[in-house]
Amino acid sequence: MALAFSRPRRRTRAQALPRRWSGSSRRAMIASLILIPICLLWIYPFLWMISASLKPNAEFFQGTGLIPASPQWSNYVRAWQNARIGDYFFNSVIVTVSSVAIATITGAMIGYVLGRFSFPGKKLIMGLFVATVFIPQGYTIIPVFEIVNRLGLADTLWGVILAEAGGVNVLSILLFAGYFAQLPRELEEAAQMDGAGFLRVFWSIMLPLSKPVIASTIILRFITIWNSFLLPLVLTLSRPALRTLAVGIYAFRGEYYVDWSGMAAAATISLLPVIIMFILLQRYFVEGISGAVKQ
Amino acid sequence: METELRVARRISATKERKKSSWVRQLWDGRWCYLFAAPALILATMFTFYPIVSSWYFSLLQWSGFTADKTFVGLANYVELVQDKYFWDAFLRSFQFMIVGVPIQLTLALLVAIVLNDQALKLSPLFRTMFFLPVVTTAAIVGMLMTLILSPFNGPVNGVLRDLHLITQPIDFLGSPQTTLWTVIAVYIWKWLGQPMIYWLAALQTIPRELYEAAKVDGAGWWRQLWSITLPLIVPFAIVIILVTAVGALHVFPLIQTLTGGGPFFATEVMEVYIYRVAFGGETGMGTPRLGYASAAGVFFGVAVMVLALMQAWGARSLRDFRSDLQSL
């Protein structure tokens, strides 16, 4: 009803007034004018970081302008060599990609069986995962450290990868379970008629259908693991070669604390690729995160 | 062919399964167990076991790095409730949350409402910019911010001086009076984008027709906000508040790199305190006390749990209240 009434009304107004003066677009214009400076201020720290990474140390804190007089690319050489940012970047990418992949696949698998089948022990498994949200956790980093050492994984990145992947993952498991539970039964029945087994049904029918949840899980896990600090910090205390970016730059600041330009260059090398990736894939980020809320 | 038949039977014939023996049920569910196993094994190693052993560790006198463990019962907890630094950190964590979360959520909602306007063509661009800090690494942002907020001609002090707002540079991260507020501000800036996206998702569930109808009835922008938007996003608000509040208690990377808990413990929130106690501090001057740190962790965990339960209870009673209203 509402639609039927409002449509003709809008048309008459559009005829009567030039479009740019209509109430909603004028409001949008004002909003834009207010938001542009706020947003520029919002990302100013990153713009400053890039600018500062190109200044010599002596001029580091001079002036608030963003364009450096003569770009000092040597800062980047120093960050790359002294701070070993290249190695750390590589470590961070390997850790993040592997643990996101492991967490997503294992989460989809367990979510599938929890959401679609009933089997003895199902409630117990579900209960265990939900309980981790509520029961108090002590300082769990040392037991994790202990397990990684005992498994003999301390000298490889696998320790960090598995520990990140095995961290509490309840949300994505519940998302998968909920999503798979509401898919129609006919899907499997039709596939079984064609002779597809359990694995085939999961891999070629169910998994492709769960793309929205997969996207949500990947994005949420990516943000968590890429931001992770304590776990890689503790696990790589005695093994500098395994440091991730965050830990590596933290250590670099400890050793070369007056080399601000080097710091800014190191920070730029580590932040810029993610920022660019985010800008390119931002639609997926936003849809992934909002998908998690809507379900 | 045999397996396919079994699959079909398992999926369709639940009645049949109920009759069969226990062993048979386990055998029928073998694919399920196989699929659940990887996640279960990982979670057991890196989630369940660490939680349980942290409870056990809290009863030990143990540095964490030697084999020298002594069982001391609840002695760690007794010492904890008398530890001034513990209570300071404990209250500071909640202070951080109580100040930070309402500001963060209100600002995020405000931005989300403005960005949700269909007429705002630049909305995706603004959204991207507000969200940008969320994808950057917290620890690196912390270190970057120490440079930006530096009292020695850092850009923020530089701008304030050029605008003649200050004559003396403000030591944002160096004076005990300002530091906690600075850290909260940096935290809000870093994480605002996340609740903003949650709010946007919530706002998009509201049918456009409602606004159209309200316009026909002559309701203005404020009236629409107050009578349509806000009531309809309340169910989402509870989840969003819970997620954001719990997030505000886990700020270790940001604070450790911004201030390391200083100056003079002014920003030592719970996680930073526990880290200092467990590892003996950055300088290695203190003695690592893992048992004691675990006790602090468990104690704090109980507090967080109570908070979460209160939220869940609040959410349920609100839902009951709403359904009561609807049934009237």
- Average pLDDT of each block of 10 consecutive residues along chain B (328 residues)? 54 53 80 91 90 88 78 87 91 92 95 88 88 88 88 82 82 86 94 91 86 84 85 84 84 88 85 86 69 89 81 74 66
Closest chain A residue by Cα to residue B283? A254
Q: What is the rounded average pLDDT of the residues A94-121? A: 92
pLDDT above 70 for A1: no
pLDDT of residue A293: 65
- In chain B, residues with a C-beta closer than 8 Å to the C-beta of A270 are 137, 140
pLDDT tens digits, A120-133 = 888 999 888 888 87
Q: pLDDT band at A16, cuts 50/70/90?
A: very low
> Considering only residues 276 to 305 of chain B, which have any Cβ-Cβ distance to chain A shorter than 8 Å?
278-279, 290, 293-302, 304-305
Name the residue among B40, B64, B119 with its Cβ closest to that of A28. Answer: B119
Mutate to test the interface with A, among B129, B216, B306 (most CBs of A within 10 A): B129
Determine the Cα–Cα distance for residues B326 and B281; give it in Å rounded to an integer.
56
Per-position b or e across B113-146, b if 16+ CB within 10 A of its CB: bbbbbeebeebebbbbbbbbbbbbbbbbbbbbbb
Neighbours of A255 (CB within 10 A): 9
Pick left, alpha or beta for residue B288 (phi over 0 → left; psi -120 to 50 → alpha; otherwise beta): beta
Name the residue among A32, A105, A228 with its Cβ closest to that of B122. Answer: A32
Q: Return phi, psi of residue B61, to 5°.
A: -95, 105
pLDDT of residue A292: 65
- In chain A, residues with a C-beta closer than 8 Å to the C-beta of B7 are 192, 197-198, 201
pLDDT of residue A158: 92
- Residue B177 distance to chain A (closest CA, Å): 24
Name the residue among A143, A245, A279 with its Cβ closest to that of B50. Answer: A143
pLDDT above 50 for A139: yes
Could you tell me what percent of chain A has a pLDDT over 70? 85
For Cα atoms B302, B305, B309, give the angle at the middle one, nearest 5 degrees.
140
Closest chain B residue by Cα to residue A1? B213
pLDDT of residue A295: 56
Q: pLDDT band at A294, cuts 50/70/90?
A: low
Closest chain A residue by Cα to residue B205? A294
Query: What ipTM describes this predicted complex?
Result: 0.79
pLDDT tens digits, A163-195 = 999 876 788 888 898 889 888 888 888 888 888
Q: Which of B139, B68, B47 is nearest to B290 (CA)?
A: B68
Determine the Cα–Cα distance for residues A104 and A214; give it in Å rounded to an integer.
7
pTM of the model: 0.82
Mutate to test the interface with A, among B3, B12, B18, B54 (most CBs of A within 10 A): B54
pLDDT tens digits, A35-64 = 999 999 999 999 988 888 888 877 776 665
Name the residue among B36, B128, B135 with its Cβ closest to that of A110. Answer: B36
Q: Which of B268, B324, B325 is nearest to B300 (CA)?
A: B268
- Sequence letter at residue B168: Q
pLDDT of residue B322: 67
Name the residue among A139, A189, A267 with its Cβ closest to that of B278. Answer: A139
pLDDT of residue B122: 86
pLDDT above 70 for A207: yes
Determine the Cα–Cα distance for residues B2 and A292; give it in Å rounded to an integer.
39
Distance from CA of residue B32 to its chain's centroid?
32
In terms of Cβ atoms closer than 10 Å to its own Cβ (0-12, 13-18, 19+), residue A90 is middle
Q: Is B20 in CB contact (< 8 Å) with chain A? A: no
- In chain B, residues with a C-beta closer than 8 Å to the C-beta of A31 are 114, 117, 120
pLDDT of residue B42: 92
Cβ(B273)–Cβ(B89) under 8 Å? yes
Question: Is there a contact between A32 and B120 if contact means CB atoms under 8 Å apart?
Answer: yes
